[in-house]
Amino acid sequence: MIRFRRLALAALIPAAALSLGLSGALAQTPSPAPAASASPSPAPSAAPSPAVSASPAPVATPSPAASASPEASPSPAASASPSPAAPPPAAAASPAPVQTADPFGEETTLEAKKVVMLKGTANWDSAFDTLIDAFKALNALLDKQGIKHAGNSMIVYTSTDDTGFTFLAEIPVEQDPKNLPKDMSIGKSPEGKSLKFVHRGSYDNMDNTYEAITNHLDDKKLEAKDTFIEEYLTDPLKTSEDKLVINVFVPLK
């Protein structure tokens, strides 16, 4: 069973408040300025009154309200600018759970390949060790004759019971090996309409996968043939057992 984990991303945008405490101070500093304008005209007594009326005019023009309004306008702009930064995390979060699901019950058609095969029997207690020994024997033969693999290693289960099973260990090749032992032969891999399932993890946990396959066939009311195929996407001779990735093909009647 594959478990999906969803990653939730939260973006916090702190809001900063701007206080204009200098407005009162700026309002008081211009008031002494009219006194300097009154000092040049002390002779006429009426002159100070226009000077007093002139003093509010400069005070009104450099009003702090005018200077405060430009300062207030950038603050919303600054607070608004971080808000577009919030969508990227949401976009980045969506690909996280994407494409992680393996196909389960996907319809496919197997094509026959030339294979060198080894017949064997095994009991369930030492099943994986027996399969590994079969792959080792096939690889030793191919390596000795300089023949490369033309595909992934496979196990074809031909019969099963409560104590064990019979199987064919197969490796695709493009040329025929020579001097084959009695338990080896050249043949064709299975072909035809099948359902594809994926198993990840150790061989010991294959029971869970096959139980899920059985439930899937029952739900879909599909009838399978007596054989089924395991294709090892990871090399079982070089990969630790808990890291195995295996395609399971179930041929349909």
- Provide the pLDDT for residue 233: 96
- Provide the pLDDT for residue 179: 92
- In whole angstroms, give the CA distance from residue 129 to residue 134: 9
- Bridge pairing between strands 245-251 and 192-200: antiparallel
- In whole angstroms, give the CA distance from residue 175 to residue 44: 122
| Residue ranges of E strands in 49-173 | 106-110, 114-123, 154-160, 164-172
For domain 106-251, the question of CATH label 3.40.50.11740 is answered with no
Amino acid at 172: P
Mean pLDDT in order along the chain per 10 residues (253 residues): 24 31 38 42 43 43 43 44 52 48 90 97 95 97 96 96 95 95 96 95 92 95 92 95 94 92
Question: What are the domain boundaries of the chain?
Answer: 23-93, 106-251
- Provide the pLDDT for residue 64: 43
64 with 20: CB under 8 angstroms?
yes
Amino acid at 219: D
- Provide the pLDDT for residue 101: 75
Which residues are bridge partners to 246 per DSSP? 199, 232
- 13 contacts: CB under 8 Å, gap ≥ 6: 79, 82, 83, 85, 86
21 with 27: CB under 8 angstroms?
no
The pTM assigned to this predicted structure is: 0.60
- Provide the pLDDT for residue 226: 85
Residue 72 has, within 13 A of its CA and on its CB side, a CA count of: 10
- Provide the pLDDT for residue 89: 54
Which residues are bridge partners to 159 per DSSP? 166
- Provide the pLDDT for residue 88: 55
- Provide the pLDDT for residue 102: 86
